[in-house]
Every structure is written in C-alpha cells, then in structure tokens.
Amino acid sequence: MNQDIVLAFSGGLDTSFCVPYLKEHGWNVHTVFADTGGVGAEEREYIEARAVQLGAASHVTVDGGPALWEHFVKPFVWAGEGYQGQYPLLVSDRYLIVEAAIKRAHELGTRAIAHGCTGMGNDQVRFDLTVKALGDFEIIAPIREIQKEHTAVRAYEQAYLQQRGFEVRAKQQAYTINENLLGVTLSGGEVDRWEAPGEDARGWCLPRGEWPSDPLRIKVGFVNGEARTLDGERVAGHILLARLNHLFARYGVGRGLYTGDTTIGLKGRIVYEAPGLVALLAAHRALEEAVASKLQNRFKPEVARKWVELVYEGFFLDPLKADLEAFLSSSQRCVEGEVTLETFGGRVDAVAVASKHILNAKGATYAQAADWGVSEAEGFIKLYGMSSTLWSEINR
C-alpha cells in the first residue's frame, strides 16, 4: 500500500518533476501550494490544474500573504538591510511554505515531507532545517536524488516530464524562476554564465523605454515601524506591498543583478526584482533616520545584519532570531509618521518626511544656525579630539 507524502508545490519545473517521480517510487502525493502573493488568479488556477494533471492525490492552496507580511516583511523592514548589503531576501517565503506543508501532513496523518530543492542551492537548507525544527519528519528531495546519477539535472527533468506526456513551459526551460509577494528572482542560462541578462530574464519591472513619462509620488504611513497606509488609506500589509509592487514595477524600480555567497559556499548569481520592498525600505529608512537617536542609528545595523544572515542561511526558527527581533521591535517605538516617495524611473527617493518624533533641536539647524557660542564649539572640538591631537603632537 502506497504511503502518503506532502509535497510543497509551485507548478514549476522542479516540483512538477517531483509528482510523477514520487508516484513511481510508491508515494501518494498530496500537493500544497502556499500562495505567498506573487501570482494572479490565472496562474493560481494553472498551478491547481497542473497538480491534478500530474496525478496528485489531492491539492490544497493556502493563502500565505498575511503570514508572510507578519513574520517576514515587518521584521525585515525594521532591520532595513539586504543580505551582503543588497539582496532583499526574496526567497524567505520558503519558511511559511514549509509550515503549510507540515500542517497538511498533520491533517493527513503522515510524517513524510517532500520538496523540489536542488542539492546545489540554499533552499534545501531552508526547507530541511525548518522541517527539522517543526517535528520528526522524513524528508524526501527528489532533485537531490537524481543528481547522484545526472549532472544536467534540468535537462533530465524536462525529458522525464515530456516522455510522460507533460509539457514544460518555454520560460522554465531557460530559467529557474521564483515569484512571490516579495518579488521575482531569475537564474540559469546566461545569468549563470556571468553574461548580461537577456530580454527574457525579466519579471515585473518594465524596461526603460516603457516607463511612464510622468513621475510617481506616493505617501506611506508608518506606526511602530510598520507600513499601515498608502496616501492616507489604511491597507492590510500584504495588500499594501502588492500595490507598491504594481506601482513601482511600472517604473523599473527594484531590479538588480546580484552575486552572493551562498550558504553552501558557491557563488550565486541572480536577477532580482523587488519594487515594493525597495520602496518600503527607502521610506522606512528615511523616517527612522530622522526619529532615532545617533547611537540607535549606529548600533542597529549590527543587529540587522545578523538577523538577515540567520534568515538567509536557514535559521528562521532559531531562538537567536527571536531575540534579535525583540530588539528590532523595541527600536521601532517612535518610528511613526508619513514619508513621501518619488520616482522618475529606475530608483526611488524619500523626498519628504513628516513625524512628531523628528529629533529637531529648537534653537539650531545643521550648518545654518546654532544656539551655542563660539567658545562652546571650540571647547567641544578640543575635548572631543584630544586623544588624536595628542598623538599627532607627540609623534610629529
């Protein structure tokens, strides 16, 4: 009698391959698609139909947008740092996908979980460590299995599916594509060959020739460091981010070409597009810089970088991450106000900040006016630089 197994399913090449592969190895495959906000209704229907076509015993679609906002986007924006100073952690929905798969496994009474991660990338670490943190499950990774015998894995997967009468989308033949509420990543083809990305290596962001001629201005309102409003309208977080994605993608904002040091030690090169997150980060940083103290602004990036590393490397459920988030949350207690964002295309700037918490000195403005005298300034400089001045005098 076949055993039940839950497969985290996206409808892409890797997870499509997994369904018939697992069936042929004696499993009843139950697919779970955690819709974390990157697909429309048409794509969602395609994914559900794809699971049925491939022979899944059952299929469940879970709305993961609210959880992704609450458990990743909020603390990520608080942190305000990309991995290695750039990458906005667009694959962080993986942890919530695992949680959805585990929930389905409990419903079915099985202890078997499958995923379509390769043995070359970071996602296998994120999936496996999260599964292990959530319980005692058997983990099956078909793509890792076939790598033992086949070096051209994607070509093998395509041939395997086609031989069984399942079509493979043209774009999936050229690139590995990940899409969710956070953004889009593309790898493979010329990107992996360290060449300039081709025209097909594009997700949401319009090319320069298609940007609107008029600039975009929008106001984002924050409470305790969390974006709550767009142009004064209260909007649920995941919907707010989706709107920002739509608005700023039209202007090509948030697109980058990134090379990173992966968890397993390889260099990973991807095209990424994160228009909404990049806009949110710009707005939040402008507000935070204005309302936080000098020492807060200096210290917080150290905590943020460690939080980002933990999330990137698979330690989403490690207690240190929760400890760091407690600090990040505390640092946001005065990050309240409204920021005006502006783009003419390609980049976004925070052009105005309004908050009752801005640290304005009543009698002084930088480089313009001061309510202290010359002697006070000279005395401050003398004491502030005493150690360096003494070193220079003695060692001339």
Q: What is the mean pLDDT of residues 392-396?
A: 91
Q: Residue 1 pLDDT more than 60? A: no
Nearest CA to 77 among 134, 68, 162? 68
Does residue 220 contact residue 188 with C-beta atoms inside 8 Å?
no
Place of tokens 């990040």: 328
- Please report which confidence band the pLDDT of residue 247 belongs to, taking 50, 70 and 90 as the band edges: very high
Q: Residue 392 pLDDT more than 50? A: yes
Q: What is the mean pLDDT of residues 153-178?
A: 84
| Dist CA 29 CA 186 (whole Å) | 27
Q: Residue 171 pLDDT more than 80? A: no
Q: What is the mean pLDDT of residues 164-192?
A: 85
Percent of the chain with pLDDT over 90: 80
DSSP readout, 123-141?
HHHHHHHHHHHH---EEE-
| Dist CA 369 CA 100 (whole Å) | 58
Could you tell me where the DSSP H helices lie in the chain? 13-24, 41-54, 65-68, 74-79, 94-108, 123-134, 142-146, 153-163, 170-174, 189-192, 237-249, 275-291, 294-312, 319-330, 374-384, 386-394
Phi, psi (degrees; rounded to nearest 5) at 256:
-150, 165
Q: Residue 120 pLDDT more than 80? A: no
Q: What is the mean pLDDT of residues 228-251?
A: 97
pLDDT of residue 177: 82
112-114/3-8 β-pairing: parallel
Q: What is the mean pLDDT of residues 105-128?
A: 92
Q: Report domain extents, the chain.
A: 3-65+90-171, 183-354, 369-396
Place of tokens 């990134």: 258
Q: Is the CA virtual torsion 17, 22, 23, 29 positive or negative?
A: negative
Place of tokens 């593309």: 186
Nearest CA to 316 among 120, 93, 87? 93
Q: Residue 371 pLDDT more than 80? A: no
Nearest CA to 76 among 247, 324, 254, 257? 324
Q: Residue 47 pLDDT more than 90? A: yes
The answer to whether domain 183-354 has CATH 3.90.1260.10 is yes
Tell me the pTM: 0.89
pLDDT of residue 366: 66
| Dist CA 325 CA 323 (whole Å) | 5
Q: What is the mean pLDDT of residues 64-81?
A: 95
Phi, psi (degrees; rounded to nearest 5) at 229:
-135, 150
Give the C-alpha distances (Å, rounded to integers) separating 174 from 58, 187, 189, 190, 371: 29, 9, 6, 9, 64
CATH code, 3-65+90-171: 3.40.50.620
- Please report which confidence band the pLDDT of residue 258 belongs to, taking 50, 70 and 90 as the band edges: very high
The one-letter amino acid at 395: N
192-203 confidence digits (pLDDT tens): 999 999 988 999
Q: Residue 107 pLDDT more than 90? A: yes
Q: What is the DSSP letter of 209?
A: G
Q: Residue 266 pLDDT more than 80? A: yes
| Dist CA 72 CA 134 (whole Å) | 18
Percent of the chain with pLDDT over 70: 97
Q: Which of 20-24, 173-177, 316-320, 323-327 has the lowest mean pLDDT?
A: 173-177
pLDDT of residue 172: 59
Q: What is the mean pLDDT of residues 281-298?
A: 97
Q: What is the mean pLDDT of residues 28-45?
A: 89
Same CATH topology for 3-65+90-171 and 183-354: the answer is no
Rg, C-alpha atoms of the chain = 25
Nearest CA to 97 among 61, 146, 70, 73? 61
